[in-house]
Chain A
Amino acid sequence: EDQVTQSPEALRLQEGESSSLNCSYTVSGLRGLFWYRQDPGKGPEFLFTLYSAGEEKEKERLKATLTKKESFLHITAPKPEDSATYLCAVSDGDKIIFGKGTRLHILP
């Protein structure tokens, strides 16, 4: 059964304090690993797609990396506006399964 596990569940950082979020997955035939950002009261918003081990994607202060078993979302020098829930998801080509997310809070 396809499964996505994210850690930690919640993370509080000071502004400027870099860290990483983890996403471990098991899927029969990975066709893509996705990162989404969700703000309170809104639907998830797409950030990145990674397709193969070793691939990296960057967007502003975020960088996503992928290995054969997990993905990391690195946040460099975060700002309060980066506070949100970050969701990881995997696709077998059809279904897209999400983890429970990491709630990130950046303190000014």
Chain B
Amino acid sequence: DAGVIQSPRHEVTEMGQEVTLRCKPISGHNSLFWYRQTMMRGLELLIYFNNNVPIDDSGMPEDRFSAKMPNASFSTLKIQPSEPRDSAVYFCASSLWTGANEKLFFGSGTQLSVL
């Protein structure tokens, strides 16, 4: 298995632009998580899905952030408009939910820089 695949690996954009981050989970996994990592705040949970349905988006910082999972093999995290404080590494992770979420498999992350 190729593991969790995220794209792009790096993204540099200007304030006000729309940014879309993409994630392909491991085949057969039914839970998907989006995290954001900064030195100050560590790894923060933004949103997670079970069976393509958003379960908890309380970690999404504001309405500028939105996430979708149209099918079991694809998810997007969109920021519109982007701001410099959104600069961080964004990770996607997937898991096989069998009564509880356990071992997470992470992608390599997207390094986002908003100028």
Contact = CB atoms under 8 A, between A and B. Distances in A.
Interface residues of B, number: 25
Contact of A43 (B56, B102, B103, B107): B107
Given A43-B91, A98-B42, A99-B42, A91 B100 contact: yes
A96 B109 contact: no
A76 B40 CA distance: 29
B33 A96 contact: yes
Contacts, number: 62
Contacts of B41: 100
Contact of B100 (A32, A43, A44, A46): A32
Interface stretch (B13-21, B43-51, B65-73, B74-82): B43-51
B56 A97 contact: no
B91 to A, nearest CB: 5
A6 B93 CA distance: 22
B103 A45 contact: no
Give the secondary structure class of B's interface. strand
B50 A44 contact: no
A34 interface: yes
Nearest to B40: A100
Contact of A93 (B101, B105, B107, B108): B101
A49 B102 contact: yes
A102 to B, nearest CB: 11
A101 interface: yes
Given A95-B45, A98-B44, 6 more contacts: A34-B103, A43-B109, A44-B91, A94-B56, A96-B45, A100-B42
Interface of A: 31-32, 34, 36, 41-46, 49, 87, 89, 91, 93-101
21 contacts: A31-B100, A32-B100, A34-B102, A34-B103, A43-B106, A43-B108, A43-B109, A44-B106, A45-B106, A49-B102, A91-B100, A94-B101, A95-B101, A96-B33, A96-B48, A96-B104, A98-B44, A99-B42, A100-B41, A100-B42, A101-B42
